């Protein structure tokens, strides 16, 4: 059976919250306590963004069940020589359940988000990719950038996803 991709509604909020937790769990990114702290904050923020249109989402369904999703934030950004636009797309929460992987759903979800970004006239879409997804995004034309991050939290444990990225 072929999965369908459809626009998300506010009714999909809990699916996105669950997918975000599963995504970070699969990447071994943070611990269970961190995932538990994240969920209510993410839920509240995403509810606001979906309500106002600051984020748009897509859901992959198989036999009536959500098996994946993707979100696109319309993110305020500084104008630069690359684009004077003050809004960029930020693709996030791209996730496909383990049992539905290998069917091109992450690509189809990303294509749906990029189609919306183009429809809105955006000139740039950014994302943070897991190591497992790098080949997908490179194959779709995304370029790695020289982003760095400084964590000011004293007891921070660097995720293994951050090693050997250059």
Hey, where are the domains in the chain? 4-162
Give the pLDDT confidence score for residue 162 in this predicted structure. Answer: 62
3-state helix, strand, coil in the chain (%, to 5): 40, 20, 35
Give the pLDDT confidence score for residue 160 in this predicted structure. Answer: 63
CA 51 to chain centre: 18
* CATH classification code of 4-162: 3.40.630.30
Low-confidence ranges of the chain (pLDDT < 50): none
Give the pLDDT confidence score for residue 122 in this predicted structure. Answer: 97
Give the pLDDT confidence score for residue 156 in this predicted structure. Answer: 72
Q: Please, what is the angle between helix 32-52 and helix 13-26, to 10°?
A: 140
Within 10 angstroms of residue 120's Cβ, the number of other Cβ atoms is 12
C-alpha span between 35 and 31 (Å, rounded): 6
Give the pLDDT confidence score for residue 37 in this predicted structure. Answer: 94
C-alpha span between 57 and 80 (Å, rounded): 27
- Digit-coded pLDDT (tens) for 129-140: 988 899 999 999
């Amino acid at each position: 059976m072929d999965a369908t991709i459809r626009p998300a509604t506010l009714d999909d909020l809990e699916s996105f919250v669950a997918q975000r937790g599963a995504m970070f769990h699969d990447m071994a990114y943070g611990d269970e306590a961190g995932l538990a702290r994240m969920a209510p904050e993410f839920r509240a923020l995403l509810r606001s963004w979906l309500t106002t249109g600051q984020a748009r989402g897509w859901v992959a369904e198989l036999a009536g069940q959500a098996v994946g999703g993707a979100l696109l934030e319309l993110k305020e950004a500084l104008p630069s020589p690359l684009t004077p636009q003050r809004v960029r797309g930020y693709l996030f929460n791209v996730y496909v359940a383990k049992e539905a992987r290998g069917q091109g759903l992450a690509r189809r979800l990303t294509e749906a988000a990029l189609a919306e970004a183009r429809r809105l006239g955006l000139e740039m879409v950014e994302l943070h990719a897991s190591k497992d997804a790098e080949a997908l995004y490179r194959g779709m034309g995304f370029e790695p950038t020289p982003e760095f991050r400084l964590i000011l939290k004293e007891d921070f444990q660097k995720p293994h996803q951050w090693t050997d990225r250059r």
